[in-house]
Amino acid sequence: MRYRIRFRKQPSLWTLLLILAASCSDRQGPTGPTTPPVSSAVAAPSAAATAAGVCDFNPTESALTGPGWSRVFEEGFAGDLSQWTIWNGGAFNEELQLYQSSNLQTASGLLDITARKETATGATTPFDATPKTFSYTSGRIESKTHFSAASATPKVRLSARLKLPAGYGMWPAFWSYGDAWPTQGEIDVMEGRGQEPFQYQTSYWFGRRPGKNQVSNSATVVSSATSLMDCWHVYEVVWTKSTLTYLFDGQVVDTKSGDYISGMYGKKQRITLNLAVGGLFFGNYDPAAIQPGTLQVDWVKAFTSR
């Protein structure tokens, strides 16, 4: 789930990240990886954008989308997580957490995905039942509903209102993907780092063979003038046949076109929210300095338009 662009590292590390990005991604779904992932897809930054941001942005739905859009999915976290599949087990990308349901809590219309420093034993991944001991736990959910920019719904808009976690080594992500990765594509709407309160990144991945990503240089770093951790913000992507348009608090901050986006047309993806701990997304980092935090989710919505 989530690996893009914001590394300020030595040339040797940049080279390593680019090699990893070309090989595979961590986002594997309930059906399991077709081939063992070498890494999560980690993208080195290739572009940058700036945005003012609006602290605690929360527009009406009509103001958010404008005319022509129909809501096809909504989650306000007022009840249970019946619209979601809960990930149980470890993940990829050399992340340190065990995902489990007890790290997901809903109260007062909010979902808290909390990372904790604690020793826990669980499946190496949901596809490998080999027991493994983890030093951290966290949570990950994936929508049971799939979405597709296709002839019947040529425009798909995925939106979420989030408050990102502070804490060194926290890796929150809002993204979508399908199986077998990356043949259905992967769209990273937001990936953040807990030690970077004013920036996040966008990216996407696609390949025509399972386990083989063909996309490079797709990551964009978005810098906000307002804190992503002290304030609520709305992160969005509009997916069409030839473009991915990313919005932050209603402002277009990134538009991707060309390379392999058209290959995702007609493919099916599910929304994913998670909070990883450590991993390849951080390059050279100090695991001893990790500070657990909580990703808060106010709502998630999906819209379609012709």
What percent of the chain has pLDDT above 90?
83
pLDDT band at 259 (very low <50, low <70, confident <90, very high): confident
Model pLDDT for residues 128-178, shown as the tens digit of each residue: 999 999 999 999 999 999 999 999 999 999 999 999 999 999 999 999 999
Domain that holds residue 218: 11-305
- Does 284 score more than 80 pLDDT? yes
Q: Which pLDDT score, from 0 to 100, does residue 44 have?
A: 62
Residue 6 included in any domain: no
Q: Which pLDDT score, from 0 to 100, does residue 90 have?
A: 98
Residues 256, 140: contact at Cβ < 8 Å? no
pTM: 0.89
What average pLDDT score do residues 258-284 get?
95
Residue 139 included in any domain: yes
Phi, psi for residue 84 in degrees, rounded to 5: -130, 150
Instruction: Please report which helix (H) or strand (E) contains residue 257, including its range.
Output: strand 251-257
Q: What is the CATH number of the domain that holds 119?
A: 2.60.120.200
Dihedral over Cα of 193, 195, 91, 34: its sign = positive
- Does 24 score more than 80 pLDDT? no
pLDDT band at 19 (very low <50, low <70, confident <90, very high): very low
Find the range with the poorest average confidence among 23-27, 49-53, 128-132, 299-303. Answer: 23-27
Residue 212 included in any domain: yes
Residue 72 included in any domain: yes
Residue 4 included in any domain: no
**CA pair distance 213, 206, nearest whole angstrom:** 5
Residue 108 included in any domain: yes
Write the CB contacts of 170 (distance below 8 Å, at least 6 apart in sequence). 115, 164, 192, 193, 194, 195, 275, 276, 277, 290, 291, 292, 293, 295
Q: Which pLDDT score, from 0 to 100, does residue 45 have?
A: 65
Model pLDDT for residues 242-252, shown as the tens digit of each residue: 999 999 999 99
The total number of structural domains that make up the chain: 1
Q: Which pLDDT score, from 0 to 100, does residue 10 have?
A: 31
For residue 284, the tally of other CB atoms under 10 A from its CB is 8
pLDDT band at 258 (very low <50, low <70, confident <90, very high): confident
144 against 79, higher pLDDT: 144
> 49: which 2 tokens?
């954008």
Residue 21 included in any domain: yes
pLDDT band at 34 (very low <50, low <70, confident <90, very high): very low
Q: Which pLDDT score, from 0 to 100, does residue 172 have?
A: 98
Taking alpha carbons only, the member of 228, 269, 283 closest to residue 10 is 283
Mean pLDDT of all residues in the chain?
Answer: 89
Model pLDDT for residues 178-230, shown as the tens digit of each residue: 999 999 999 999 999 999 999 999 999 999 999 999 999 999 999 999 999 99
Residues 305, 68: contact at Cβ < 8 Å? yes
Q: Enumerate the H helices of the chain as residue ranges.
A: 11-23, 61-65
Residue 2 included in any domain: no
